[in-house]
Structure 1
């Protein structure tokens, strides 16, 4: 009895252990590809459950079995075992309406004609038909595929289709090319394509027929789209050896494993779906007299719906830009999430309060700055407005309107007249009358070097105050001097009357004045006697023109070496007629009332205050003595003795010792006759009584004669030689 009891217990224990082992094996199968011997990738291709690599527990059934083969090059390639086709990609259903099924991309066969050199002409090389039929096959050829034919004069047909005959035909005629409306699809020129039947066939063959001509032709099924712009030569397609084809897959609900082994979501039965929770959904489908199910993870979940717990919540908060800046994201079930503002610590709240105060202060400062800016702008505007009004006032007071009228009425037949400059123009020309631009200063004003907008270099004379009662005469003088056009007189280019004191603009003479050149010992080479005599002739000619040849006689009143400028060729230019001072008009002459310079001043004018043309002659005589002696009009030694250069020269002439005071730089030259002739003329010009002095015309003629006489003598000597 005990033996029987013992045997019974052993039998029961064996049955229980057998059940547990089978249940464990079944659980492993139910959980899918979970054994340690199952590989999940092959050749870089991911293989998800129900597909698998390895033992029989790694995949649902043989239709989902994947074999990982090793090629001769050492790489691994996945193959679907039942249809012996290389796998390119495997994807699970995504739940979309247009693709409620899974997708497997495979390398399909390619049919060619006359593409191999080893084949005879007209021989077609055709691989076996694409066939995914068989009992329990979950695969079908999707309607996303097309039949594509490439090559000239090619007719491609699909075989093994019961319902109809489908195909397309190509041509390479240029006339057809010119009729192409678009290059987006293959519609006959060089390539063609056509859709496959919509009833999801499981077997399709491809055949090629030639209409005319010869050459390589290929035809194949593929899910890719081709157009004339991206189609290459048929030989290149033939060299590839395959075309990518899209297969759909599903679960046959009649499959015993599908019925007996719940996969993922298939736990709870509804009218048209099986589901266990809201993580995934298995949808119903029917075609080719077969019902099927396909499962997918719902929105907000990701993973494999065919594994227990395979659909996990997606972290929606990791998606970029889910919540606005300053908020935090919190995941909820499925695709739900919430955005909440970040809690602020007390310190930050205090800081925020301080920031409000700071913002108020900043706003106040900005408002104050704006107010200051407005006040400053108003100040600048008012000052500019006052400057304009003051300029107009000065222009009117200084006789601007009268000068304009004078220049207009006297401009008949004159090529270039003086113009009226604005103060803005002259400030820009002289860098706002910078001290760096000062050329010289004198009793009548300051002269600046400037450059006009047209590039001309000018001398700008800023005069001293002018008597308003004499402004009429000043305007007349400016208008008159503007008409003077003599090569040895500095040209008056114009004036500015917008300032308190009129500003005169002259042409710029670059080589300085005669005084500087004459009394500079380093300039011996340039200041020869010939140059000095030519300068004297040119000065006399200019003064003669002013006294007699001009429209009205004009007296210079301040002839001196510093008022005689020299250009780059040492040509003399008489300048500074004193027009910045007040002027007066007597009964016969227009003269300039400018106090003379000691050493050059006519003693008769000094005693009588009557300035005549002979007063200019006296001053010119002093300049002649300077040219002969090289001495200054006033010398410290002579000043202590109460004598100037003129008195010293007259005494030397009277005592017949003029050779003792001749400049050593010209004393050794062989033109002493000219020097003595000029000295004699200078003696006449320095006569104490004006009526005994020659006028400037006589002086000019005499100097021309002295200069030409020696030139004639030189010519005579050359002829004798």
Structure 2
């Protein structure tokens, strides 16, 4: 009901506004939309205009000099100052332009001017009917120059020669005094004057002038001796082809019953004659029509019927609009419920209940919040794409920078993975694991919101040639240690053991201090403490599966090569792990070490990490160390003292350290590692056991 009355009120306001505009001619636009229509006290109608794209063409460009007081208006291309444009909407056209026309003088102290006007090539010309040529002075014979073959001019008498002009005649012309006047030719585009008397008697003047102005001012005409300009009227004509009409006369006018500016598109407006004179039809009803009006007898019932129908239609429209909004909102709610169910919302609720508060700090974001944060998921905000979805950079309303993961279209098999990632990340609290801030389930595809890690992935810094900052050996060791500690935390310190199942360099992110952050838990699994393995369609997964994947990452850090070798690097196999194992068994592992770190690291450090990676890549899952052991061993490698001599020849060191060419270490069974156990001489097992 409130909406209904509001719409009625708006309708009445618009109606009153229309009436006010119709009754006030100044409200009708005279310039192009967005253009200034005044310069000081001068109104500038189209086709004239001030500023770019505000005039018809360059002939009609107007300059407004507001530095002067009052401001001056100038038609730029003909360089003539405008006094005013004769635009009145009721006249249905722009009649003429009143400009300053020069006064040509001779023998007039202290000035003598000989200014000329040349409008050739322009659409402008002096108005034949509204201007006249005037010569003034005692015995002055003046002619208009440059008009061939016609001679136009006049000769004045010398009455009361002590003054410039004699007394005007009864018709207020100067034919009876010391001035004369005559008509000018049609379409006059130039003005110049010559004086025929070689020995003039006093000051002689000649000028083109607005006839009405001159007739009105003749009694004070003695002032003209010191006047440089007088008002004159310019007319103009536009080519008929511009308007595509055969009866076009060079000027545009609004049709009868309309007013406005005919040069503007839709510039002519209907005149409401009934509003101008309410008693126009007497006792009958005045009805306005386009361009005219009619008088009709009193038909109150028609008005009542019209109002009733209008009110009914308004109610119908408003009711339909409200019904549409209600149905749209209901459909949106149903759609969000559908997405919530399809994205595993109920499964997430069950998980939240079963974990008793471990998910309480996980925020449920609305789709509107994340649309705003990511600029409607603008492609310019994409941080990366993977097998499970696309990650966008976003900023929340509180200013926090986040990473929003938009999963791919959900199918029944992937719903469990998505909910699993939410549950697992909500239980993890480790400095080297990406923190989950929340999720959104009311969109077509589910969304996860993580803390933003600014420096990309470890994969980029190891393999992307465009990176300008290669990771030094010390940073690589620290990243390996931090990653191992995070995985060890998942395996042994989390409330429920968690297997990541997708450890790789693309899932290890680097923060602003290049500290490691393990991410992407979509395929992870958590198991109860009494379970020893988790069976999937492919194979059996234990914590030793993550150890193998971490071993591949260690090899990447050592060699700088991708997990899948290029054809140039590969010999028998394109697998980096297989290539590395072969190099170890053939005692040539130092040949494949990344040249960017070879000179930074001690050979002992390289070999200890290499043998640790070799043990992680053992074909026998039982012979691989645990992630706790891996983390401890990397911790022991980190603080090795640096050599003081920076000029040590590392290649020469390879030959001196003979024990590095002993047999490869047999996988340790103890719960801890030492340097001696890592370099013990025993051959590698070649048992064919499952790669788990």
Instruction: Give TM-score, length-normalised by structure 1.
Output: 0.44
Computing the radius of gyration from Cα coordinates, the structure with the larger value is 1
Instruction: Give TM-score, length-normalised by structure 2.
Output: 0.46
